[in-house]
Amino acid sequence: MIRSTALLLSLGVSLIPSTSALSGLVTDPTQVSDQSFDYVIVGGGLGGLVVANRLSENPDISVLVIEAGSDNRDDPRVYDPYQYSVAFNTELDWNWPSSQGRYIKGGKTLGGSTSINGLAQTRGQKAQYDSLSTFLGINGTEGPWNWDGMYFGMLKSEGFSAPNDQQKEAGASSNPALHNTSGPLQVTYPDEIFHGPQQKYFQTVISTNFSVASSPDADDGNANVVAFHPNTMSWQDSDHRSSSATAYYSPVAERSNLAILLQHLATKIRFDGNKATGVEFGTSNGDRYTVNANREVIISAGAIQTPALLQLSGVGDPALLNGLGINVVANVSGVGKNLQEQTMNSVGWTPIEGFDFQGRGPSDCIAYPDLLGLTSSSNNDIASTISTNIGKYAQDAYDAGAVVSVEAASAIFAIQQGLMIDDHSGLVEAFFDSGFPNGGLGIDLWQLLPFSRGTVQITSTDPFTYPNIDPRYFSADVDLKIQIAGLRMARKIFQTAPLRSIVTEENAPGYDSVPEDGNGGSDEDWSRWIVDGFSSVHHPIATCSMMSEELGGVVGADLKVYNTENLRIVDASVLPIQFSAHLSATLYGIAENAADM
C-alpha cells in the first residue's frame, strides 16, 4: 500500500479516493453501485448537463450524472421541432398532476425539458436579473447575480446564427453585439420561417395601436417589446432541436471522466451529519444502490422533483418531514414553498379563405406588454389592485403554507411589485401563433408574474410517488385580472387592421362564449372562460429559491443548500421569481455561472 502510494505521488497522481473510470452512457446499475465520483449530479436536463460538461473539462475530475429517462436524441419526437407536442403524454413526459385538474409537463429524457420544449429563446428584463441580488440581500455589484453577470453567463452558452436574407424578409432581425456565435447552444431562426404577412401584421398592430414598442432585438434587457425571437435549433444540423443533451453532452460524450447512468431515479441523498456523501438510486421494482461523491452532490432534477428529493432525504420543513416519519437532516423550511407557475389561454381567429401561412413553425413573433401596454386599450386597475392587496396576498400565502412567514412574503411581493410597476417588466406574454389554436391564427397568452404562491410536497416516503403539486392558480385575484386584460387585448389585436383583413371570425373563445360588448368582452365572461379552460405553461420555478434565509431561501449565492455542506442545486427551482421571458435562456445563464463556481 505504502509503496503504491509513493508511486502514485511520484507520478503526480492525487490521493483523492479511488475515482471511477466509468464513462459514457450506462444503464447497468451495478457498474455504478458503490463507485466513487468527484461530483454526482442528479438529473441530466438543462442544469445538470451544463454543469457536467463544464466540470468534466478538467480531466482530473470525475463526474457522474444520474438521469431518470433514456437517451432519445435520435427520436424524431425529440429532435424534430416541427413536431412540437408529440412527446406530451408519452414516456418522455413526467406529466405531473397539479391542483385544479391541470397537468404540468416536463421532459423525462436526456436533456430534460429542453428535449421537449417549445424552443423559444428569450431573455428577460434587466431589472429582473438585478433582483437576484436583492432577493439574496447582497450587494450585487460584483455579480454574478445581476444583469452583467447573467448576461455573461447567457452569452457563454449561446452559439447564435443571425437571420439570413429570407429570414430577414420574413421579419427576423438581430443585433450581433448582443450575441455569441461560438457557445454550445445552437440558436437561430427556422429555415422555413413563416413568411406570410401574419407575424409582421401582429408586430405592426401591437406597436402601432397598443403602446408596445417594436424592437430589432429584444435580448438587450429591454424585453417589454414586440420582436422576432430565435429558437434553440441547430443551424449546423438542418433545424434539429438544440437541447442541453445535443449542445452540452454530444460534443463531449467521449470524455473518459464523464459518465451518465440512464433509466434510474435518484431516491435519496446520503448524508454523514450535514455532509452529503453520495446518492441512493434505483428502479420502481425496489432495487436500491448507492454511489459515493468525493466532493459534491449537485441536484438538477427540476423545480418539481428537486424539492421532492430533498424532502425524501430529510432536508426541508420539519413539520412536513416529521409527519412522514422522515429524520430531519437539515431544517430548511423553504424547500417546496414559493412555487410559481403561469397560466395560459389561447385566443384563436379563423384565417380568410385560401390564406397561406407560407412556412412552418416554431412561430417567432412575441410581445411582452408591460403595465402601460396592457392598459393602453382598456381601463384597468392592476397597479392599484396590487398595492391595495399585497398584505392580503402575503397573509394568504402564509396561511396556505406557501411561504415561511408573512414578513417574508411581504418583502418578496414588494420586490415583485417594483419589478412590475416601476421597472416596466412585461406582465403578459402574447405569443403569436400560426396554426394554433384550431389550425388558424392565434395568440397564446399568459400572465408572467403571478402573486399566487404554491407548494410541492411529498405525501409518501416512496420516491416513485409523485409529490403533491399545488400552484394555487389565481389565488391572488390580480393574477386573474392580468390574464383578463391580456386576453381582451389579444382579441382587440385581431380586431385591428391590418391583422383584421386576414381573419374572418374569432373561434376561441368566440363571441358566443365571451360576447363582444364593444370593448373586448366583460370581465365576468372572460373570467368564467379563463378559469374553466386555462392550462399550465409548464414553467414551474422557485421551490428551492436562491434567496436569503429570512425570505425562505433554500440556497445562497453559491447555490449551496443552507445548513448543509457540499450540496448544491442548479436548476429552475433556484430561480426565486418568474422573469418576463421563457425560462431556458436565463437558466442556461444560471447554470454557466454555477459551473464557474
Ligand X SMILES: *[C@@H]1O[C@H](CO)[C@@H](O)[C@H](O)[C@H]1NC(C)=O
- Draw the binding track, 259-278, toward ligand FAD (x: CB under 6 A; -: no contact): ------xx------------
**Stretch near ligand FAD under the rule CB under 6 A, chosen from 117-125, 390-398, 408-416, 525-533:** 117-125
Q: What is the dihedral of CA 546, 549, 552, 557, to 10 degrees?
A: 0
Nearer to ligand FAD, 45 or 171 (CB): 45
Residue 572 partner contact from ligand X, ligand FAD, none using kind-dependent CB cut-offs of 5 to 8 Å: ligand FAD
Question: Binding ligand FAD by CB under 6 A: which of 29, 107, 149, 153?
Answer: 107
Question: Binding ligand FAD by CB under 6 A: which of 42, 63, 427, 476?
Answer: 42
User: CA angle, 578 as apex, 546 and 249 as ends, to 5°?
Assistant: 70
Q: Minimal CA–CA distance to 20: which of 46, 57, 56?
A: 56
- Decide: 66 and 261 in contact? Cβ < 8 Å: yes
In angstroms, what is the minimal distance from the CB of 212 to ligand X?
13
Q: Residue count at the site for ligand FAD (CB under 6 A)?
A: 39
* Residue length of the chain: 597
Nearer to ligand FAD, 66 or 206 (CB): 66
Binders of ligand FAD among 571-590, rule CB under 6 A?
571-572, 582-585, 587
Q: Looking at beta carbons, which residue is closest to ligand FAD?
A: 45
Positions annotated as catalytic residues are 539, 582
In angstroms, what is the minimal distance from the CB of 133 to ligand X?
10
Residue 107 partner contact from ligand FAD, ligand X, none using kind-dependent CB cut-offs of 5 to 8 Å: ligand FAD
- Which residues fall within 8 angstroms of residue 310, CB to CB, at 6 or more apart? 269, 299, 316, 332, 335, 336, 544, 554, 561
Calpha distance 386→546 (Å, rounded)? 24
Nearer to ligand X, 207 or 231 (CB): 207
In angstroms, what is the minimal distance from the CB of 250 to ligand X?
15
Cell numbers of 504, please?
A: 374572418
- Phi, psi angle pair for 445, to nearest 5°: -125, 125
State the sign of the Cα–Cα–Cα–Cα dihedral 241, 144, 554, 413: negative
Q: Which residues bind ligand X (CB under 6 A)?
A: 139, 141-142, 155-156, 180, 182-183, 208-209, 318, 331, 333, 496
Residue 23 partner contact from ligand X, ligand FAD, none using kind-dependent CB cut-offs of 5 to 8 Å: none
Residue 156 partner contact from ligand FAD, ligand X, none using kind-dependent CB cut-offs of 5 to 8 Å: ligand X
- Draw the binding track, 54-73, toward ligand FAD (x: CB under 6 A; -: no contact): ------------xxxx----
Nearer to ligand FAD, 266 or 554 (CB): 266
- Decide: 530 and 484 in contact? Cβ < 8 Å: yes
Question: How many contiguous H segments (helices) and E segments (strands) does the chain have?
Answer: 16, 23
User: CA angle, 146 as apex, 397 and 568 as ends, to 5°?
Assistant: 65
* 561: DSSP letter: B
- Decide: 298 and 569 in contact? Cβ < 8 Å: yes
Residue 66 partner contact from ligand FAD, ligand X, none using kind-dependent CB cut-offs of 5 to 8 Å: ligand FAD
- Decide: 429 and 368 in contact? Cβ < 8 Å: yes
- Report residue 517 CA to chain centroid gap: 37
Residues that bind ligand FAD (CB under 6 A): 42-47, 66-69, 105-108, 112-114, 116-120, 265-266, 300-303, 305, 309, 538-539, 571-572, 582-585, 587
